[in-house]
Amino acid sequence: MYTRILVLALALCFQNVFSQQLSSQAQISVITIGPGTSLNDAFGHNVFRILDRANDLDVGYDYGRFPFNEPGFYLNFAQGKLNYSIGKSKYQDIKDFYIWQNRSIQEQVLNLTAEEKQAVFNYLLNNYKPENQDYLYDFFFDNCATKIRDVLQTAVGNKITFHEPDNFQPQTFRRLIREKVSTNSWGGVGIDLALGSVIDQQATAEEHMFLPSYIHTFFAKATIGDRQLVSKENIVYQEKPTASTSNFLWSPWVIFSILGLIIMGITYSDYKKQRQSKTLDGILLISTTLIGILILLLWFATNHQTTVQNYNLLWAFPLNGILAWQILKEKPKAWIIPFLKFLVILLTLMTFHWIVGVQVFAPAQIPFLLALLIRYLFLINFFNRKLEL
């Protein structure tokens, strides 16, 4: 008899721990954090805030935690097999941290019934259990922003309708990224190099919500049943203007322009003297080979959905290494000329892909790509003359 009472008491105790009852004054908010200065902070962040003063509760749940110090982190990230997890912190700590980083903080109080608030809170409590915390991260379709939308939608029974904001113009995924990351930054160039043509497709209205700022935008217009999803908005902290820390002299435009000028300068000198600078050709062909191999690995050897169909291979051709091996010889084979003509055709195809919008490439690379084309044309002319002798 006493054993049964003890078991029942323990069960009630654990139920209270894992399913805490919110008071009638409780409110649930979505917090939107503005972009930071580093690349991984450039897109912002979202957090659920649970505020219940009657229960001395003011916490934030977010889906942006990742095991940076875990063995194999970089390999898992490169392979698209990185698990992110839900995290929990005191809301005051979250606010203080982002104010310290000088990042804007906006709050949207959700217009939920008591039952809906409890359902969302219970979902988060259950998700925070160790066995449920992890999820397979995907930058566009399963990240810290999309989780806010999906968790809320699931917890309230898929009753939320998202409406397009006024003057909404759908964008491609790449354009949406460029809203946050400048094309004249090394992060922007890296993204344009690594991600394929699939991100040049137009995103649906709801797919825009992979960015935290669009969570804020779409939530402001959303309805749940016959009522507005958001009952109140407020700016918790407004980012303060700071002096720009970017160094234009080390920007991609400048560096690629310098590289392009060096290549064209050496090519002009070679043309006038009718010689070949083998060191330059070796560097160009081996570099493009290595970059091409990296692109192929991202395409075929990872689980990333967005690194496929990457037409950067049209300039970073992985078989250039074969040409490098032959072109550096004193007496190269005659097939190097059609090979070089093939590389010119590939660069022409890349330009066509860019113009028609199949894939948009990094604009900062234009001086380098133009110099590469001129170098190939020079080599075709040079070896035509040399092999005729």
pLDDT tens digits, residue range 142-192?
A: 999 999 999 999 999 999 999 999 889 999 999 999 999 999 999 999 999
Q: Do both 209 and 278 map to the same domain?
A: no
Give the ranges where 80-211 is alpha helix by DSSP (H): 91-100, 114-127, 146-155, 173-178, 186-194
Question: 85 in a domain, yes or no?
Answer: yes
Q: Do both 233 and 379 map to the same domain?
A: no
Q: Measured between alpha carbons, how far is 104 from 161 in angstroms, rounded to an integer? A: 27
Q: Do both 10 and 136 map to the same domain?
A: yes
Radius of gyration over every alpha carbon of the chain, rounded to an integer in angstroms:
28
Q: What is the pLDDT of residues 335-362, one digit of tens each?
A: 999 999 999 999 999 999 999 999 999 9
Question: 115 in a domain, yes or no?
Answer: yes
Q: Measured between alpha carbons, how far is 318 from 330 in angstroms, rounded to an integer? A: 23
Total-model pTM: 0.87
CB contact at 8 A, 210 and 141: yes
Q: Measured between alpha carbons, how far is 296 from 312 in angstroms, rounded to an integer? A: 10
Q: Do both 309 and 257 map to the same domain?
A: yes
Q: Whose CA is closest to 44, among 142, 145, 178?
A: 145
Q: Do both 281 and 380 map to the same domain?
A: yes
- At residue 75 the predicted structure's pLDDT band, cuts being 50, 70 and 90, is low
Please check the confidence at residue 5 and state whether its pLDDT lies above 50.
no
Q: Do both 233 and 274 map to the same domain?
A: no
Burial class (CB in 10 A: 0-12, 13-18, 19+), 136: exposed
User: What pLDDT was estimated at residue 76?
Assistant: 61
Burial pattern 160-187, b for ≥16 Cβ within 10 A else e, equals bebeeeeeeeeebbbebbbebbbbbbeb
Q: Do both 80 and 210 map to the same domain?
A: yes
**What's the total number of domains in the chain?**
2
Q: Which residue has the tokens 């070949």?
A: 276
- At residue 364 the predicted structure's pLDDT band, cuts being 50, 70 and 90, is very high
Q: What is the pLDDT of residues 255-313, one digit of tens each?
A: 999 999 999 999 999 999 999 999 999 999 999 999 999 999 999 988 888 999 999 99
Q: Do both 282 and 375 map to the same domain?
A: yes
User: What pLDDT was estimated at residue 159?
Assistant: 93
Question: 194 in a domain, yes or no?
Answer: no
Question: 177 in a domain, yes or no?
Answer: no
Question: 287 in a domain, yes or no?
Answer: yes
- At residue 39 the predicted structure's pLDDT band, cuts being 50, 70 and 90, is confident
User: What pLDDT was estimated at residue 248?
Assistant: 82
Q: Looking at residue 38, which CATH number applies to its domain?
A: 3.90.1720
Q: Do both 220 and 316 map to the same domain?
A: no
Helix axes 252-273, 366-388, angle to 10 degrees: 20
Q: Measured between alpha carbons, how far is 66 from 389 in angstroms, rounded to an integer? A: 63
Q: Measured between alpha carbons, how far is 324 from 278 in angstroms, rounded to an integer? A: 9
Q: What is the pLDDT of residues 213-260, one digit of tens each?
A: 999 999 999 999 999 999 999 999 999 998 777 788 899 999 999 999
Q: Do both 256 and 232 map to the same domain?
A: no
Q: Do both 327 and 384 map to the same domain?
A: yes
Please check the confidence at residue 389 and state whether its pLDDT lies above 60.
no
Domain of residue 113: give its range: 2-168+205-237
% of the chain exceeding 70 in pLDDT: 91
Give the ranges where the chain is alpha helix by DSSP (H): 2-18, 73-79, 91-100, 114-127, 146-155, 173-178, 186-194, 212-221, 252-273, 278-300, 320-327, 336-356, 366-388
Question: 337 in a domain, yes or no?
Answer: yes
Q: Do both 226 and 259 map to the same domain?
A: no
Question: 184 in a domain, yes or no?
Answer: no
Q: Measured between alpha carbons, how far is 43 from 179 in angstroms, rounded to an integer? A: 9
Q: What is the pLDDT of residues 178-193, one digit of tens each?
A: 999 999 999 999 999 9
Question: 187 in a domain, yes or no?
Answer: no
Average pLDDT of the chain is: 91
